[in-house]
Chain A
Amino acid sequence: EAGVAQSPRYKIIEKRQSVAFWCNPISGHATLYWYQQILGQGPKLLIQFQNNGVVDDSQLPKDRFSAERLKGVDSTLKIQPAKLEDSAVYLCASRSGGLVYEQYFGPGTRLTVT
């Protein structure tokens, strides 16, 4: 079974530029999460999708961050415009749904904003 795929693995941009990250969850997984992990900290949830609907985006900085999950499969996370404090690893995770608690993570995208 293929795992969670993410791209790109690394991205360097200047502040005020825009950037997009892509995630492909494990096949059949209904729930998809985006986390932000700042260096030296644990991951923090940004947004949770159930199929193609948003379950929780309360911690997403909506003035600059947006996310979508078209057709309930792949997802993209966008930052526009980027700030220095957005430098972090962005992790995507998926869960099969229902009573299952376990989440499976992708390899992450390391973003550096200069």
Chain B
Amino acid sequence: AQTVTQSQPEMSVQEAETVTLSCTYDTSENNYYLFWYKQPPSRQMILVIRQEAYKQQNATENRFSVNFQKAAKSFSLKISDSQLGDTAMYFCATSGSARQLTFGSGTQLTVLP
């Protein structure tokens, strides 16, 4: 069984600043992936970034990067140069051999002008 914990229900950041969203997970699998999804008010779940557990190098996608600490089972998301369009609910998720996503409870991020 897999579990994902997001301990920050809400966060806010000033436009152009940097913010970090926290996520911890638990899994018994050796091969798994970790994801951050963004869900704006439109409800469309959008993939932001993914990390393969066997890769030590942290994934980056433009302004988005992760800090993956495998031993600590931690997977945080850093958003640099925050933009108003980044306002959304952010979900951390893991997927193992069954290719099923287990989601955390989400962090509502608000970018302030």
Contacts and interface: CB of A to CB of B under 8 A. Distances in A.
Interface size bucket, B side?
20 to 34
Interface in B93-109: 93, 95, 98-106
Nearest to A100: B99
B100 A33 contact: yes
A78 interface: no
Contact of A42 (B43, B100, B103): B103
Nearest to B104: A42
Interface in A97-114: 101-108, 110
B99 A95 contact: yes
Given A41-B105, A42-B106, A31 B99 contact: yes
A42 B42 contact: no
22 contacts: A31-B99, A33-B100, A33-B101, A41-B105, A41-B106, A42-B91, A42-B104, A42-B106, A44-B103, A45-B101, A48-B99, A56-B100, A89-B43, A91-B43, A101-B50, A101-B95, A103-B101, A104-B47, A105-B44, A105-B46, A107-B43, A110-B43
